[in-house]
Structures are given as C-alpha cells and as structure tokens.
Amino acid sequence: MRAPSAGTLQDAAEAWILGAREGTIRTRSGDRYKPSALRGYEASLRNRILPELGAARLSDVRRTDVQDLVDRLLAEGFDASTIRNTVMPLRAIFRRSVARGDVAVNPTAGLELPAVRGKRDRIVSPAQAAELLAVLPDEDRALWASALYAGLRRGELMALSWRDVDLPAGVIRVERSWDAKNRVIVSPKSRAGYRKVPIAGVLRDFLIEHKLRSGRSGGFVFGRVSDGLPFDASALAARAYAAWSEAGLEPITLHEARHTFASLMIAAGVNAKALAAYMGHASVTITYDRYGHLMPGNEHESADLLDAYLARATATPAIGVG
C-alpha cells in the first residue's frame, strides 16, 4: 500500500486545475473539461472550499469535514444547486486521488446534500411561439425560431455557421459552441452534443428568409455584420423583450425556447430516445428526468391508450358476404 499523501488539498487542487487546463486530466467520459466548467470549479475552490479545507493534508480530509462545510453553506443561505456545484470539483479531485492511490477513501462519498427543487422553465404553446416570433425585428426571427424549433443551446446558436445548415437534406449539424467568456469556438458540451437536428418546415422558411435577407452563405448564421463575430446575446434579449413588451406578450428566454422545442417534439409524438439525440443529452434518462412530466403517461391518457389498444385487438373482423 502507498503511504498517505503528504501534500495539502490546496496543492492537489492546483495540480488538478493545471492538469484539467492542459487536457491531461479529463472527465469520466474521457473528454476535456470545458473552459466554462473549469471557471466554475476554480471559483468554487477559491471562494468556498480552500479557505476552509485547503491547508489540510489531502489524506486527512474526512467526510465529516466536507459534510460540516455543506451544512455551514446551507445554514448561511446558499441554495441547493450552489452547494452541489461547490462539491463537484472536490469530488473530481478525490476521485482522481483515490484512483492514483494517493488516498484510500473518498471523503465526498455518501454526503447528505440538499435536494434541488428548481422551478420549471416556462414553455409556450405553438400559438404563443408564433405570436412571439411575429413581432420580433426581421433580423432576429430566424435565430429565435432556431431556438424554438430546433432546441439549440445559446452557445450552439452563436457558433452555428452556414456550412452546418444543410437545407436540402433538412438537418442542422451541431458540431461546435461559442465560449462567450474567452470569445472562442469550443467543442459541444459532450459527445452527445455532436448531433443532427431535423429542420421542420416552419424553421426552414425562417432560415431561407434570413439567408436571402443577409445575402451571406458563409460564416456565422447569426453573426454581426460589423465584425463577423457571433450575435450579442444581451442586445438580442433587449430587442426581443422590447418588442414583446410593446405587443403585450410575456417574454421568453433562449433557454426556455429550448425547453419549448422539447415540449413540441413530445406533443408531436417523437419518442424519448430520438428527442434525447436531438437535444444533445448524454442519456435518455436526462430527457425523462427533465421532460417526463410532459410525456403521455398520466392516468387518463394511459387508460385511454389501453382502451384504444384493447378495442383494436379484440375487434371482430367483418366477414364479407359473397
């Protein structure tokens, strides 16, 4: 057995962050950590974990120490999601330390964490989606339509280029995203993020109109004419909210538009496995967890489906008279 590590948690955290930045330390799926994820990990370590536990020897950190930190954060009023995100980099550090034999026990295993009970994002109906799009400035309609009818994430919309939009084949290839903080193109969030999304007829019309209006067939689909960079998300939201306010419509965010796409696909009868692929979810379980409440399956619908099936299965075929 290897001797307990003499290094501190501070040392291990710095080495882990450096390795993650260089790509020698990767996620459990083998992918590089995204810059945005690393920024969040560093902030959690710097602001909440290391001030409390950083000086302790790595092998001396106990589960009770981590649980005490969680309990203090909860008592100080931090919400459940913030607390869970705080623990994530600590889990990654100790998972690697256990695998390398630097410590024998992972002190982040078996923690009692507060449950996350976030409110569901707003989802609009097909009629409401059409109303929201109708009052937008002409140059913004295709972008919001792509969020509502293709479910792309904001970063994916920002990095979308015309070479990714195959109108004849009727698909959008999602192969990159935009890191707004570092102003660079990055890979999708996961392997599942690389995907093809079908272009519905309603979205196709918006994209064709946008392409003709912009006069461009290359570069970013929704890029700024002034400098060729992706659209400014804050300016986009400001224009949209102003238009919706003037029309007396309740606004929607790009993230809520993505959820609306999922609800529309479910209502249209698309199965969960296909929807998971279109959404870029790593597992169909994620799709069920987020959108299961929208899928057919409540008591009345289940009873109606069973009755309809039994009626078809037991129907006596008509006998022809000849």
- Residues 60-114 have pLDDT tens digits of 999 999 999 999 998 888 888 889 999 999 999 999 999 998 899 999 999 998 8
What's the residue count for the chain? 322
Q: How many domains does the chain have?
A: 2
Mean pLDDT, residues 285-295 taken together:
74
Q: Which residue has the higher pLDDT, 61 or 217?
A: 61
For the chain, where are the alpha helices, taking DSSP H only? 9-22, 35-44, 50-53, 63-75, 80-100, 126-134, 141-150, 154-159, 201-214, 233-246, 254-267, 272-279, 284-291, 299-314
pLDDT value, residue 76: 87
Residue 93 domain boundaries: 9-100
Instruction: Examine the domain organization and report whether 140 and 264 are in the same domain.
Output: yes
pLDDT value, residue 51: 94
Q: How far is CA 171 from CA 149, 161, 204, 273, 311, in A?
A: 12, 13, 10, 18, 39
Instruction: Examine the domain organization and report whether 55 and 135 are in the same domain.
Output: no
| Position 69 in a domain | yes
CATH of the domain at 61: 1.10.150
| Position 188 in a domain | yes
Mean pLDDT, residues 258-274 taken together:
87
Instruction: Examine the domain organization and report whether 188 and 82 are in the same domain.
Output: no
Instruction: Examine the domain organization and report whether 193 and 70 are in the same domain.
Output: no
Instruction: Examine the domain organization and report whether 58 and 158 are in the same domain.
Output: no
Contact 151, 258 (CB under 8 A): yes
CATH of the domain at 145: 1.10.443.10
Residue with tokens 């949209």: 240
pLDDT value, residue 321: 44
pLDDT value, residue 186: 87
| Position 271 in a domain | yes
Instruction: Examine the domain organization and report whether 52 and 174 are in the same domain.
Output: no
pTM: 0.65
